[in-house]
Structure 1
Amino acid sequence: MLIVFALALSLLIFICFLYTRHPLFGKLPSGERLQRIQNSPNYRQGQFRNLTDKRGMTDCSHTFIELYRTFIKTIPHRHPKDIIPSVKTNLRTLNPQQDVIIWFGHSSVFMQLHGKTFLIDPVMSGKVSPLPWGTRAYRGTDIYTVDELPDIDYLLISHDHYDHLDYKTILQLKNKVKYVITGLGVGEHFEYWGYPKDILIEKDWGDRIEFDDGITIITETTHHDSRRAFDGGKNLWISFIIQSPNKKIFYTGDGGYNKHFVEIGEKYGPFDWALMENGQYDAAWHAVHCHPNEVAQATEELNARNMIPVHHSKFSLAKHPWYEPITRITEYSKSRKYRLATPMIGELVELDNDHQRFKQWWENIR
């Protein structure tokens, strides 16, 4: 029996090893790219480090509770039974002079600004897992295909987790993208997947990129991590400040609450719009994902006039009811200094329309 067990275990390990050779797992930085990473002040002891150390779970009893919740306890309403409502906007017929945002669910966002097109953390394959049976999109949320997108001037990737860097989507986008802007090291995945090196722009925290068309993109810090297989922290996670001649927009990427929101607000604010990670939170990873009350506080600290919550209502990655993030941020946003915008997936958000109103579309959905 021991021999049979050992052989079975060896076979399983071998199969796992072969599977992790699949291109979807990407490739770790090497050569000149790795040398640039090693020269970053944020890369220490063999990996990128957050500006401050911050543990997610604080004691052993908490750890045991989270293990129980994660692997044993059933969370009611974690997945919606009904179809999530959406609006199908034709992206190819938009007025190029109109500044708009269209949310695709989770953190995927299409934006048109100053006549340029942006695509942020697109996941359009309907799943966010390297495993065939992994987490699937809710019914009604995966309504856009890559073929329906116009050409993209700027593809922005905050980090390399599967719910932000989707292998299938990135392959399909290859001939539509003018520039890819991402953190140090993430370009290794893109180059491995066939993207030309000269369109890959990889930046550290605090870097500024000024384009000839009036667009400026600044890559800033967030409190998170990176990993696609087993070796994490080898490329950088970032947030974005996107500026046109008359607008300034902030996208958090993923990250836990920390003092960097105040610092970014003081250094770059005020912001016309903020796209804020709000969802897939848990005490087990409180350090790397904000809870809704922190999202509301951070939005004010950024000095944003308008806020769209993202990272919710498409995939169940955490142990909370699917509707909880959008419900809670709606409550926490009452009497705040910013205006909360809660578009349906695919709904056109007019960045110059202060009077546009949005339905509470999640109500009465089981």
Structure 2
Amino acid sequence: MKSKNKNRLRLIGYILIAVILLVGAATAIFLHTARFGSLPTGAQLERISRSPHYVEGEFKNTSPTTLLVGDKSRLQGVWEFLFTDVKDLIPEKPLPSVKTNLNALPLQEDLIVWMGHSSLYLHLDSARILIDPVLVSASPVPGINEAFPGSDIYRPEAIPSIDLLLITHDHWDHLDYETLRALRDRVKAIVCPLGVSAHLISWGYDPKIIRELDWFDASNPLPNMKLTALPARHFSGRGLTSNKSLWAGYMLQTSFGNILLSGDTGYDEHFKKIKQQFGNIDFAIMENGQYNEDWRYIHMLPEDLIRAIDDLQPNRLMTVHHSKYALARHAWYEPLAKIAEAAKAKQYTLLTPKIGEPLFLRDSTQTFTNWWEKN
């Protein structure tokens, strides 16, 4: 009898080991699929290693930064994220949006079309620019991080030929494998932070059209544009390995003026330094949304966004990183409601276009509605 029990336990043990090995093998195979991209190697890694922001094998923020604030374990944070009930986390009905034909927009007009979350299409000095296009999937797993109805009106086939593709970092909600594969033959030039090109090259992009920038590096990717990569307080990574590529904001200097793209960032002293370096900021595009008190070092809370705007003092601004995905535990409309309230109190010139609604940069009289408010 004892022998039979031992054999049974041994068999169960073998089965458990086999299951663990199979799950591990399947996970390893999944993590090496093309959509995860590639890590820098060779000459690219050598260049990265010379960056003053690359320390002990990974990129570091200018201030000490942890992903989580406080005493919660990562497991506790994940549990609360998954199972805390949040009122109005997802819209009750499709979001109002405008399906503008991007091909029909006048190229000579400087403009911005927000495509939800942080995806932007711009005309600047008769050039077409695309920023962080995530038009298919913001997750490696189908069915996770689904776009809100009404926010998903743009697909890759709607995008014209692009003069400049600008990427801020490699997170899934900013670097979409399926979108970029679909756009590959329509992109003439790319600017991205150090290390990000490893993903793009593995997806078939010609390295000759890619310029990688470290913080404070400047480039002239278009005839009438000076572009400077700027610090942001964030992190990077698409799988189990983090911070092997850099994250950044940008200043775009064109005939229109200085346009700041904050990128994903927590609040830090870099905003004051940007103001000191560039002086007048004609237009700012600021991260706003997908925040959590536990993440305040890597994403700005509403009060942090106000501090950043006060530091920058832009003439006009809009916010992004909201209204398409539920990546944090706040009501979907809260980021817009809070910044609109602050703008009224502090007299910011805040512009709030719907997804797909063109914002004409040289038209100072254009106005927008509080479209996120319940009727």
Q: TM-score, normalised by structure 2?
A: 0.93
- Residue 301 (structure 1) shift: 1.2
8 Å contact kept, 1:216–1:243: yes
Letter in 2 for 1:204: D
Deviation, 1:35, is: 0.2
What pairs up with 1:283-298 in 2 under 5 angstroms? Answer: 283-298=293-308
Q: How does 1:257-296 map to 2 (within 5 A)?
A: 257-296=267-306
Q: Could you list the runs of 4 or more consecutive aligned residues of structure 1 that deviate by over 3 angstroms after TM superposition?
A: 55-59, 61-68
Partner residue in 1 for 2:104: 93
Is 1:161 paired with 2:171?
yes
1:201 is aligned to 2:217:
no
Residue 70 of structure 1 is matched in structure 2 by: 81
Map 1:43-192 to 2 at 5 A: 43-60=54-71, 66-67=77-78, 69-125=80-136, 127-192=137-202
Residue correspondence of structure 1 range 234-253 to structure 2 within 5 A: 234-253=244-263
Aligned to 2:324: 314
Q: Confirm or deny: 8 A CA contact 2:256 2:362 kept in the other structure.
A: no
SS at match of 1:6: helix
Residue identity matched to 1:84: L
- 1:208-227 counterparts in 2 under 5 A? 208-211=218-221, 213-227=223-237
Contact 2:69–2:295 under 8 Å retained in 1: no
Alignment partner for residue 19 of structure 1, among 18, 30, 52? 30
The 8 Å contact of residues 293 and 301 in structure 2, kept in 1 or not, is answered as no
Contact 2:164 2:221 survives alignment (8 Å):
no
Deviates further, 297-306 or 115-124:
297-306
Distance 2:68 2:240 in 1: 21
Q: Look up the match of 1:5.
A: 16
Structure-2 residue corresponding to 1:255: 265
Q: 1:67-105 CA deviation, whole Å, 9 max, x = no partner?
A: 553233211211112000101111111112111000000
CA contact (8 A) 1:293 1:332 kept: no
In the TM superposition, what are the counterparts of 1:347-362 in structure 2 within 5 Å? 347-362=357-372
CA RMSD of aligned residues (A): 1.6
The offset of 1:337, in angstroms, is: 4.9
Per-residue deviation, residues 218-257 of structure 1 (Å, max 9, x unmatched)? 1111000000111111010010111112321010110100
8 Å CA contact 1:206, 1:218 repeated in 2: yes
Distance 1:319 1:31 in 2: 40
The answer to which of 176-185 and 356-365 deviates more is 356-365
Alpha-carbon distance between aligned partners in 1 of 2:288 and 2:166, rounded to the nearest angstrom: 19
Answering whether residue 11 of structure 2 is matched by residue 35 of structure 1, we say no
Aligned 8 A contact 1:84 1:139 in 2: yes
Max radius of gyration: which structure? 2
Q: Give yes or no for contact 1:63–1:284 (8 Å, CA) kept in 2.
A: no
| One-letter amino acid matched to 1:161 | H
Per-residue CA distance 1:118-142 (angstroms, 9 max, x = gap): 10000010x3110123110000111
Distance (Å, rounded) in 2 between the aligned partners of 1:73 and 1:352: 44
Q: What is the rounded CA distance, in whole Å, between the counterparts of 1:165 and 1:61 in structure 2? A: 29
Aligned length: 364
Q: Deviations over 1:295-354 (max 9, x none)?
A: 122123112111111000000001111111111111122233530011100001011111
**Judging changes above 3 Å, is the alpha-carbon distance between structure 1 residues 109 and 212 closer, same or farther for their aligned structure 2 residues?**
closer
Range 213-222 or range 51-60, more displaced: 51-60
Q: In the aligned structure 2, how far is the partner of 1:167 from the partner of 1:108? A: 14
Match of 2:5 in 1: none
What is the rounded CA distance, in whole Å, between the counterparts of 1:218 and 1:337 in structure 2? 28
| Aligned counterparts of 1:279 and 1:169: Cα–Cα separation in 2 | 22
Amino acid at match of 2:127: K
Show structure 1 runs of 5+ residues with no match: none
- Which of the numbers 306, 311, 325 marks the counterpart of 2:335? 325
Aligned to 2:8: none
Residue matched to 1:231? 241
Shift of 1:213: 1.4
Seen in structure 2, the aligned counterparts of structure 1 residues 76 and 65 have a Cα distance that, compared at 3 Å, is farther
Q: Matched residues in 2 for 1:230 and 1:24: separation?
A: 14
Tell whether 2:374 aligns with 1:364: yes
